[in-house]
Structure formats: C-alpha cells, structure tokens
Amino acid sequence: MEYRVISGAEMNVSRVAQGTWAIGGWMWGGTDESESIRTIHAALDKGINLIDTAPVYGCGVSEEIVGKAIEDRGHREKVFIATKVGLEWHNGSVSRNSSPARIRKEVQDSLRRLRTDYIDIYQVHWPDLAVPIEETARTMHALFKEGLIRAIGVSNYSPEQMDRFMSVSELHTVQPPYNLFERQIERDVLPYVREKNLSAFAYGPLCRGLLTGTMRPDTKFTGDDLRQSDPKFQSPRFAQYLDAVKQLDDLAQKRYGKRVMDLAVRWVLDQPGIIAALWGARHPAELEAVAGALDWKLDADALAAIDQILHRTIPNPVGPEFMAPPARKTVSA
C-alpha cells in the first residue's frame, strides 16, 4: 500500500480508501451487512486505513456497518474514519442543511452509529446556500477545538466557497468527484487544492463501475440504481464510453501489462494534490484488484495517449452534476 500524510493533520492515510456509499445500499440495490463487514475487514488486511462514509448512505446504515466492522476488528486508533455532515432525508428525499443546529445533531448521531468518541475527518457533504458558509465553518471549527473531530473537510465545494470557509476555520481535506471521464475539477478545484496545500480525496475514480472494464452494451441497471439517471449510461453516450474503456484497456495491457481499472485509479493517484482515491468495494473479492493500481507510474507518453483516446471517443463528455441534491433557498434548523 502507498501512504500520504494529510497536510496539517499528521494523518498518514492509505492512498486507496474504502468508500462505503454502495454498502449503505441506498441507490445501489440494497446491502448485506455481514458481507459488508467482511469487505471492510479485507480492506484493513490490505493496508487500507482510510474508511469514507456518510450518514446519508443508506440513512445511517453505512455508518452503522463501518462502526460495527471497526469495533469487531479493534485497534480503532489505527483506522482513520472520514464521514460527512450537512444532508438530511425525509421520506426518501435528500436535501442540504448545514445549519449549526443540524451539524451539532448530526455529529452526535454519527459518533453513536460509528461507535467512537471522535471522528478523524469530518466533511461538509455539499454546500448549503441557505446558510452562510462562514457560519457552517465556525461550527466545524468549534467541533475541531472541542476534540470531537480531528480534521475538517469539505466535499463538492468551489474555490470561492472554500475561500469563505477558510476565512474563519482550518480546512484540511477536499473531496471532489474525479476520474478519467469526469475531469471538471481540473479547471478550478484541483489548481486551488495545489495552491493552498490541501489534501484531496477523489470520489468515483472508477466512474460508478464504468472504468472497471466489466460492463457491456447490454448491461442493465434496475431498482434504485443511480446509474439509471446518469447520462453516461444512456444511449448514445453509453456506447461512446464503452469504446473509450476498450481503447484504454488495450493501452494499459500493451504498455504496462495492466487493465483499464488499474490505469484509471493510477491516473487519479498520479495527479498532484490527490492523496487518495475512494474504492467502493462491496465484496472482499473486489479488493483483490487494488494491488494493480499501486507502486507504478504513468509516463508522459501514456498520459498523452490517454488524452487522445478520450478526445477521439467522447466528443461531448458529461459530468457528475446529476448527483447533486437540490439546493435550499430558505433556512431551517
């Protein structure tokens, strides 16, 4: 495993993190608690010490599973738990709420579900335009000073929003969506991360399974699977992305003896400012491929060839905007 230190937080975290959105079940077709716990244990066995979760993943289910898995294994001090705050759900719908009262309630709920008395990295999940960012930041700063959280992060924030946040509080980590097919953060967020010496966790490095190389033109998504609403998985774009995956896989095999999944994660890890990529395994066997992304680098020729493939196969790339929960315009507690 490769490790990097979070700037300003003195946490030496694994460069591959265990992402737990899918094991929460919501928008991923359900979950199996015992299998999920085995998966987290398998991740720990492979040297993964960063576990990323959120209350909204399964309405608390993901956090509960993470808490049980870590408690069962023991050695809490060797695991870095990253969870989030600022989303609430009502009757199956999710909305943003980063008010001080909401944050104070959520941190206690998360501590209970996670079976811990501190959270290593606490991240505001989405910016809430109905609450001044400075107000949210002050509350996060207070939790930090009280010792309930040990590092402060934001997710899906713009540079302007991070500027406002940092005017009143420390900020250690940033979590944006980032993969070969969703590169919007290269315009603003990634340069900002580098300039401010922040540590970025990239979520979705395999683009919701698209970059695993296992999907086919007839692959179907059922139930509440979020890929049913992702434009990349709809015709005619799905065929374009699958063509890109095939060409990227050919490149990985010819140049490195690797597969497209290895190349996709390595590409993310090689970007300056990215210290970890979230790997959303749901079964222990899905972690076997982690090793293929580690301990090698993409050379300049390969990076150029990758860009050529993407330019040639995907004329009108689309981003992850479909995942954004609705913004609020009025303040609630």
Longest CA–CA span in the chain (Å) reads: 56
3-class secondary structure per residue, the chain: CCEEECCCCCCEEECEEEECCHHHCCCCCCCCHHHHHHHHHHHHHCCCCEEECCCCCCCCHHHHHHHHHHHHHCCHHHCEEEEEECEEEECCEEEECCCHHHHHHHHHHHHHHHCCCCECEEEECCCCCCCCHHHHHHHHHHHHHHCCECCEEEECCCHHHHHHHHCCCCCCEEECECECCECHHHCCHHHHHHHHCCEEEEECCCCCCHHHCCCCCCCCCCCCCHHHHCHHHCCCHHHHHHHHHHHHHHHHHHHHCCCHHHHHHHHHHCCCCEEEEEECCCCHHHHHHHHHHCCCCCCHHHHHHHHHHHHHHCCCCCCCHHHCCCCCCCCCC
User: What span, in angstroms and rounded, lies between the C-alpha atoms of 16 and 274?
Assistant: 11
Q: Is it true that the peptide bond before 217 is cis, omega within 30 degrees of 0?
A: no
Catalytic positions are 57
User: What span, in angstroms and rounded, lies between the C-alpha atoms of 196 and 170?
Assistant: 12
User: What span, in angstroms and rounded, lies between the C-alpha atoms of 121 and 66?
Assistant: 14
Helices 61-73 and 100-114: angle between axes, nearest 10 degrees: 40
